[in-house]
Amino acid sequence: MNRRLNITLPEQTVSMLDRAVSRGQRSRLIDEAVRRFIHEQGRANLREQLELGAKVRSERDREIAETWFVLRA
């Protein structure tokens, strides 16, 4: 189901939009752009959370690894 939205864009953005697609394809392009942006933001946020988690748990993980190597020896 589609919903109609009333949005305001800068004139320069509308000009770029018109150069990229015909007037009948604006909604499709905006939909694709928003979906791509949100997908990329989600990936960036996940990557940031994983990096932070790795830093926070690095000492614990190092200790576990040291214990594991002692047990294997």
Instruction: Give a yes or no: residue 5 inside a domain.
Output: no
Instruction: Give a yes or no: residue 6 inside a domain.
Output: no
Instruction: Give a yes or no: residue 51 inside a domain.
Output: yes
Instruction: Report which of residues 73 and 37 the model is more confident about.
Output: 37
Instruction: Report which of residues 18 and 65 the model is more confident about.
Output: 18
Residues contacting 61, CB < 8 A, separation 6+: 54
Q: Indicate the number of domains in the chain.
A: 1
Question: Which pTM was predicted?
Answer: 0.60
Write the pLDDT tens digit of every residue in 21-37: 998 899 999 999 999 99
Instruction: Give a yes or no: residue 19 inside a domain.
Output: yes
Residue 46: enclosing H or E segment and its boundaries? helix 26-56
Instruction: Give a yes or no: residue 1 inside a domain.
Output: no
For residue 71, pLDDT beyond 80: no
Domain, as residue range, for 19: 11-72
Band the pLDDT of 12: cuts 50, 70, 90: very high
3-state secondary structure of 63: helix
